[in-house]
Chains A and B, each alone.
Chain A
């Protein structure tokens, strides 16, 4: 099956610093990727839709200046949490939709962010 890889799988940072999370589709091209955030015992919350070569579309309530998304190529999308604070600590998951497929989503392994 198709593989989506996220890096890093976990990261600890100090409050006020920025953290970048990468999402790569390893064996297929993805014009569209999705970024989710998941708090403990809760469902995945869609943050934004990342479109290759254009600006991301953010869900209501998600600060676009805080969560910077860049989808510069057909195999890479990045999420940068700027000026991170403890409340940004969460599990971030990306997914990619392969062109022409059945609509099946391929998910990364997730990235655990802890802000001290």
Chain B
């Protein structure tokens, strides 16, 4: 399983763009990168998933360099409600995938 490393915490202000980087140096060829968001006392929820280059949806963008050894979750114009813990997971999408969580990044958005 590819191990992931993220900053433990980040601070930002409302309206700013936030970029959270995840390192996964031993990512395998079949592995995808998936980001989840978790609010206190709730289960995580899916944000975005990608394999290479750039993926964008209505809430975030995911940038993946050519070597795929890292990825960056980009949250445009954050608001207070984006204060949460963000996790990146790396693994294949097959039946053998066992999703394990790293420490995640605690993002605090200030007024």
Contacts and interface: CB of A to CB of B under 8 A. Distances in A.
Interface of B: 32, 34, 36, 41-46, 49, 87, 91-95, 97-104
B41 A49 contact: no
Interface of A: 1, 4, 6, 32, 34, 36, 43-46, 49, 91, 93-95, 97, 102-110, 112
B34 A103 contact: yes
What is the interface of chain A mostly: helix, strand, loop, or mixed? strand
Contacts of B92: 103
Nearest to A106: B46
A104 B43 contact: no
A46 B103 contact: no
B45 A107 contact: yes
B10 to A, nearest CB: 16
B103 A103 contact: no
Given A43-B87, A103-B91, A104-B49, A95 B41 contact: no
B71 to A, nearest CB: 15
B42 A109 contact: yes
Contacts of A107: 36, 43-45
